Amino acid sequence: MQIFHIRCTPIHTGRLFLKERIRIASGQGFWGDLIDAPYHQVTRGPVDYVMMDFLAEVTMSIMQKQKLRNPELGYARDLPGQIGRMLPHIREKNIKVITNGGGVNPLACRDAIFREAEKAGITGLKVGVVVGDDILEELDAMIAGGIALANMETGAPLADIRNRIVSANVYFGAFPIVEALRQGADIVITGRTTDTGLTLAPMIHEFGWAKDDWNLLSAGTVAGHILECGGQSSGGNFLGDWRSVPDLAHIGFPIVEAAPDGSFIVTKHDGTGGLVSEATVKEQLLYEIGDPEDYITPDCVADFTSIQLAQDGENRVRVHGITGRPATEFYKVSASYHDGYSASGTLTYAWPDALEKAKAADAILRARMEDLGLRFDEILSEFVGLNSCFGPLATMPEEINEVVLRIGVRGKEKEHVARFGQEIAPLILTGPPSVTGFAGGRPKPSDVIAYWPALIPKTAVTPNVIVEGN
């Protein structure tokens, strides 16, 4: 096995582009998304690449805990089976797959994919792995060396919570993936790579974009932002005229048809459900955006205010005109830490006086917890169906048939949270009448995992690329 330490140099042949256009398909928007979506992307029409985004901030802590229990785990466990099902098609059609589903154990994920290839009788499969983003074991040395990893929101140093850290990962960008593609990888598995980098990388690789061509890198970044949430840009979770979205049961995930000049078309396979329109694409562009002029990634700083959109036919939106600026000298670090325990439970109260009964039950439970001396950082009561989304702004109907009381607590003392779970069921016989809906046993304490965003100089970490065949 050979390990390559890369400098992410630009890969290009002047302006002699390898392809005039490539089709990059979104296969997953998060861990738990439609499991058949990537298979449909490779079987229902032509694509060159499938990007599969699995990771969120809390996902890394879940995967790290899985790896601690079993060193063979720590990746998206759905992924090997999904790729195994796709293998005959991606081999026949020369489709490449790029995913960050490797989580905190991309090498183990690669090995699982090799086992799927063996079961399918496929040999000569080259899998590239990007490692180096997991800095959990290096935190002490970094802190001692003067890298504070201060919280980007509060300014507090990471040392304040060092003993409670569960995971710590650097967001790498597109260029390590580009290196794996350059070495002939059919599948590229990464850890904590930016969502946008999964789409930008094949554009850099196929079109020979330079490391400092900020406008082109920004265009690829915008394309990645549109694809990263799966069906959300092809009609899913659409806030506009959602009734106009046809056949959501068979939604087609979005595809980007990219050109060397940075322009691209957002579309989907013919004959699939969903909708690709200016409105659906615009909603996705606004998703998780802070300052639209400064969308910062490891590869560039994209200016979302420069984006131009135009409907280019049915389920086709043209995106062009994107500009950007140089990348910063930092990577972002996503760390998570243990911050206590939580538990929640529900009871349903029926007509008449459903809301009054639910409020009375809430007051009784709070009084009993106070009598017991239970301490919590937060107690939250919601009346589901009435105000759980809008709180005090919710309007109340004249007649309420039923109300679900959902109450939860969060605190540092596990035994206090556990005792809260023992106090809900007694309300059935010692509280207001017409109650139902208690099932599943007493609520158990769950770990609360908090998020710690920080910056780290790019000089402090090095992505490593490993490409190996079966």
- Which pair of tokens denotes residue 100? 């960050």
- pLDDT band of residue 6 (cuts 50, 70, 90) is very low
- Among 183, 177, 233, smallest CA distance to 202 is for 177
| Lookup result for tokens 């058949």 | 36
pLDDT score at 10: 39
H/E stretch holding 50: strand 49-52
Q: Is residue 241 part of a domain?
A: yes
Tens of pLDDT, residues 182-215: 999 999 999 999 999 999 999 999 999 999 999 9
Q: Identify whether residues 304 and 274 lie together within a single domain.
A: yes
Q: Are 305 and 374 part of one and the same domain?
A: no
What the block records as the tokens of 326 is: 């140089």
Whole-structure pTM over 0.75, yes or no? Answer: yes
Task: Report if residue 470 sits inside a domain.
Answer: no
**357 and 220: one domain?**
no
Place of tokens 């990263």: 228
Cα dihedral value 40, 42, 47, 53, nearest 10: 70
pLDDT at 9 over 80: no
Q: Which residues make Cβ contacts (< 8 Å) with residue 68, sequence separation at least 6?
A: none
| 207 and 261 housed in the same domain | yes
Helices in 170-292 by DSSP H: which ranges? 175-182, 197-207, 214-227, 278-286
Provide the pLDDT for residue 2. 33
449 Cβ partners below 8 Å, 6+ apart? 58, 61, 166, 336, 337, 338, 339
Q: Which of 269, 296, 328 is the last residue of a domain?
A: 328
> Cis omega before residue 352 (within 30°)?
yes
Q: What pLDDT does residue 57 have? A: 78
- What is the pLDDT averaged over residues 67-87? 96
Q: Average pLDDT of the chain?
A: 94
Residue 450 pLDDT greater than 70, yes or no: yes
Would you say residue 21 lies in a domain? Answer: yes
How far is Cα 203 from Cα 419, in angstroms, rounded to an integer?
55
Mean pLDDT, rounded, for 335-354: 96
Q: What is the pLDDT of residue 453?
A: 97
**What is the distance in angstroms between the CA of the first residue and the CA of the last residue of the chain?**
12
Q: Is residue 108 part of a domain?
A: yes
CA 250 – CA 238 distance, rounded (Å)? 15
HEC string of 364-407 equals HHHHHHHHCCCCCCEEEEEEECCCCCCHHHCCCCCCCCEEEEEE
Question: Do 179 and 117 have their domain in common?
Answer: yes
**Which range marks the domain in which residue 441 is found?**
335-451
**Alpha-carbon gap, residue 169 to 409, rounded angstroms:** 29
pLDDT digits (tens, 9 = 90+) for 148-164: 999 999 999 999 999 99
Both 350 and 310 in one domain: the answer is: no
Confidence of residue 439 (pLDDT cuts 50, 70, 90): confident
CA distance 4 to 13: 22
Handedness of CA 144, 147, 151, 156 (dihedral sign): positive
Is residue 147 included in any domain, yes or no?
Answer: no
| 257's tokens | 């048809």
Instruction: Kindly state whether residues 125 and 231 are assigned to the same domain.
Output: yes
Amino acid at 413: E
Query: 359 and 282: one domain?
Result: no
pLDDT band at 61 (very low <50, low <70, confident <90, very high): confident
Residue 1: predicted pLDDT = 33
Residue 435's Cα: distance from chain center in Å? 38
Residue 343, domain member (yes or no) = yes
Distances in Å between the alpha carbon of 145 and those of 148, 158, 416, 424, 464? 9, 13, 39, 50, 22
CA separation (Å) from 289 to 14, 128, 216, 293?
Answer: 34, 31, 20, 10
Least confident interval from 1-5, 141-145, 244-248: 1-5
Q: Would 344 be classed as within a structural domain? A: yes
- Cα–Cα nearest to 292, from 284, 281, 300, 303: 303
In a domain, 143, yes or no: no
Same-domain check for residues 264 and 311: yes
Nearest-angstrom CA–CA distance, 303 and 293: 4
CB count, 10 Å around CB of 22? 21
What pLDDT is attached to residue 334?
95
Does the pLDDT value for residue 79 go beyond 80?
yes
The pLDDT value recorded for residue 8 is: 39
Number of domains in the chain: 2
| Collapsed DSSP state (helix, strand, coil) of residue 7 | coil
d(Cα 356, Cα 429) in Å, to the nearest integer? 17
**227 and 197 in a common domain:** yes
Same domain, 343 and 311: no
Q: At what angle do helices 106-120 and 79-93 cross, to 10 degrees?
A: 60
pLDDT of 135 higher than 70: yes
What is the pLDDT confidence band of residue 58, given thresholds at 50, 70 and 90?
confident
Q: What angle do CA 180, 183, 187 make, to 5 degrees?
A: 50
- Give 203's contacts (C-beta < 8 A, 6+ positions apart): 22, 24, 209, 216, 219, 220, 223, 258
C-alpha distances out from residue 375 to 18, 333, 338, 412, 416, Å? 64, 33, 18, 8, 7
Last residue of one domain, picked from the residues 302, 328, 354: 328
Together in a domain, 323 and 382? no
The domain boundary, picked from 328, 356, 382, lies at 328
The stretch 249-271 carries a mean pLDDT of: 98
Domain containing residue 407: CATH number: 3.30.70
